[in-house]
Amino acid sequence: MGSEDSFNRGDGGDAGRGLRLHASNPSKVLRARARGTCSWCGNIVEWFDRFDGGRIPLTPMPFPSHRVPRRHQWSVDRGMAHSGTVGDQCRIPHPAICPALEHIGQEPELARMTQVLGVNTRKLIDSGRFVPPSEVPDDEDEVEQPEPENAAADGNIRHVLSHGSVLKICPGRIEDLQCVADAEGTGRRCENPVFDASEGGWTQVDIPPAAGRNGKAILLTYRGRMWAWEIQPLDYMDALRWLWQKCPVHQNAPEAHDRELIDFSTARHAPFILAERPRGYEPVRETGESGGGAPQFSEAERTQCAADGCWNGTIVPVGEGWLCWQCAKRARTRETVRRKWQKNPQPVRRLPRAPIPEQQAAEELSDATALFVHDASPTESLIDDGFTAWDENTPF
């Protein structure tokens, strides 16, 4: 049974009837908890797991595909949201029509929907059912990934979780990240942590580039690098356990609470970037064991690409002047072109110019002079005579 039809109803409709998620279902989100309201405009949205591991809020009802721009068409299959459409209907991401955002150059088809949602937001505010936040979102990513309620509750510390190219930011410290499943028998949220020191370590990762002058200033301040907890799971399911915020006991259990891991944004989360490695954790794991099987740890040294403006690097031992594969490809192309021109230099071809006879050259020169020499007008003559008389009568 798919996740869209598998949940324990709490509205009394199917009292006493227990439904469960199928073990093969790719999404573990209960549909009863997936419907909520946008924290920026108050309109109803439905949350779905994306095919790339993230989450996205979609409209609660589908729309005809021919009336929605192609880049805003999303479809749902077994609780997973995919970009594009399969049939003649599709769903629209809520950030594309959220009235709390300023949509510059919005398509006419979506502008009407945004206007309708804006009117509904005004009605919710007037009736007291929705209190808008004091600030407005900066972009669609902030609407798609709202900050959790307990963000930075324990001081100004929020650790970043890294897995490959995926960067997630925690609401607080990495060891305080709590499981989102319900404990068996109690019906309350599981108190087990997601953190497992044996499945990762602190390492330096590249800071994602951000647009604008502020984004460049952040990269220059931290030299494009920050410290993050990189998970090193044994298999893909263990990686999903971290990204889906589950403890080892409830790895395949349905989600009973909202996830608090959101995508890291350089502009929004700049105050939480770590320039120094946190203390009190296990360092980066090193190959080799000693002392009765106890693993040895050390920090991996990273070599940055020697090309100007390139932030790529490697932890593999390389020589001085090492270039990443992108810069090395550009260097080979330039060297090939340079050698080609050195081997077969191509002379600069100039178009022959026919000699100009002396009489024709003299006529062209007189025509050019005539553009600047002309007969004086009566007014100019009076002015010139006045200046001449003034010069003759002026004593020195």
Distance from CA of residue 184 to its chain's centroid? 37
Q: What average pLDDT does range 357-378 have in this prediction?
A: 58
Q: Give the DSSP letter of residue 198.
A: G
Q: Which amino acid is at 250?
A: H
Between 10 and 334, whose confidence is greater?
334
Between 135 and 228, whose confidence is greater?
228
Give the dihedral sign, CA 265/138/60/33. Answer: positive
Whole-number pLDDT of residue 298? 46
285 Cβ neighbours under 8 A, 6+ residues apart: 201, 232, 295, 297
Read off the pLDDT band of 239 (50, 70, 90): confident
Q: Give 59-67 contacts, CB < 8 A, sequence gap 24+.
A: 59/91, 59/92, 59/94, 59/97, 60/35, 61/91, 62/89, 62/90, 62/91, 63/89, 63/90, 63/91, 63/92, 64/88, 64/89, 65/89, 65/90, 67/109
Whole-number pLDDT of residue 212? 83
Tokens of 262: 């959101």
pLDDT, tens only, 277-299:
888 775 444 444 444 444 444 44
pLDDT, tens only, 129-143:
998 888 888 788 888
302 Cβ neighbours under 8 A, 6+ residues apart: 204, 313, 314, 315
Whole-model pTM: value is 0.58
Task: Assess contact for 29 and 253: CB atoms under 8 A.
Answer: no
Q: What average pLDDT does range 52-77 have in this prediction?
A: 88
Percent of the chain with pLDDT over 90: 18
User: What burial letters (b/e) apply to 225-254, b meaning 16+ CB within 10 Å?
Assistant: bbbbbbbebeeeeebbbbbbbbbeebeebb
Whole-number pLDDT of residue 77? 84
Which residue, among 301, 300, 326, has the nearest Cα to 311 in the 3D structure? 326
